[in-house]
Structure 1
Amino acid sequence: MKKSGMMLGLCVAMGLSTASFAGSKGGMSVYVDTVNRHFNGSMGTARNSADSNQNLYCYISSSGYGVCMATDAAGTNASCFTNNAGMVSVINSLNSDSYVQISYDSAGTCTSILVGTGSHHDPKQP
């Protein structure tokens, strides 16, 4: 009887620890900084936002260039263009659940593009 009580206690503790350490969740609303020339956010969070302004998207063309654009909740816009093959490749890795962080110069040319995809990013909702 003592062993079964101990096993029950262990099982309960394990169940609670699983609930306590369930997958990390979070999202990053679209953030646009036109002074320091960068923008970032999670695609799913932008899609799921309660406001009607947030959006975040990138395009690539068969001509070898890419364009990324963002609008934050306040309606501030930013965009950049690149024909750098490495950056176009990174844009191509984006999916609807990705996080993206982009910097650009005063001419509107993308200077860095970082893409992250992970289970903690909000998936887009319909």
Structure 2
Amino acid sequence: MKKTGMMWGLCVAMGLSAISFAGERFSSSVSLDATARRFSGNLGTARNGSDSLSYMWCASTGSGVGWCHARDAAGVTLSCATTDAGMLATIRSLNSDSRIEVLYDSAGMCTFIYVATGSHFETKGP
């Protein structure tokens, strides 16, 4: 009986914690760090921002070249290029509501590209 009560309590606690995260949303504007050679942000937040300068995008070609670019509200831009098959696949997995994080080296070559897509990221408005 004592174990059953503990199990019910655990189930209720788990259910309440799930409810507290329902509909969670994250906004993340374009963030640039030239010293650390990185940029990141949510594509939806960049699109929906109140400034007219911020953007983020990545593109790839069928010949195996890809690029990622970002510009913040101050007009500062950072970008990198890649021919790495894994990073190209990551670029191709982007959609308009994704979050991206990019690291690059001193030669302007991308060294890491991270893409996440989920219901908790701000979606792109009109």
* 2:70 equivalent in structure 1: 70
Query: Are 1:30 and 2:30 an aligned pair?
Result: yes
Deviations 1:39-92 (A, max 9, x none): 000000000000011100001001111000000111111000000000000000
Aligned to 1:49: 49
Question: Structure 1 counterpart of 2:120, which letter?
Answer: H
- Aligned with 2:114: secondary structure? strand
CA distance in 1, matches of 2:55, 2:78: 11
Q: Amino acid of the residue matched to residue 54 of structure 2?
A: Q
- Structure-2 separation of matches of 1:60 and 1:49: 25
Question: CA shift at 1:95, angstroms?
Answer: 0.3
What is the alpha-carbon distance in structure 2 between the residues aligned to residue 21 and residue 99 of structure 1?
Answer: 19
Q: What is the count of residue pairs matched by the alignment?
A: 110
CA distance in 1, matches of 2:20, 2:117: 23
Residue 113 of structure 1: aligned partner: 113
Shift of 1:27: 1.2
2:125 maps to 125
Percent identity of paired positions between Structure 1 and Structure 2: 50
Q: What SS does the corresponding residue of 2:87 show, helix, strand or coil?
A: helix
- Structure 1 residues not aligned, in runs of 5+: 1-16
- Secondary structure at the aligned position of 1:89 is classed as helix
Q: Aligned equivalents of 2:28 and 2:35: distance in 1?
A: 20
Q: Give the AA of the match of 1:44.
A: G
- Structure 2: unaligned runs, 5 residues or longer: 1-15
1:10-47 deviations in Å (ceiling 9; x for gaps): xxxxxxx7985531011110001111100000000000
Cα distance in 2, alignment partners of residues 21 and 115 from structure 1: 22
CA distance in 2, matches of 1:35, 1:46: 22
Residue 34 of structure 2 aligns to which amino acid in structure 1? T
Provide TM-score, normalisation by structure 2. Answer: 0.83
Scaled by the length of structure 1, the TM-score of the pair is 0.83
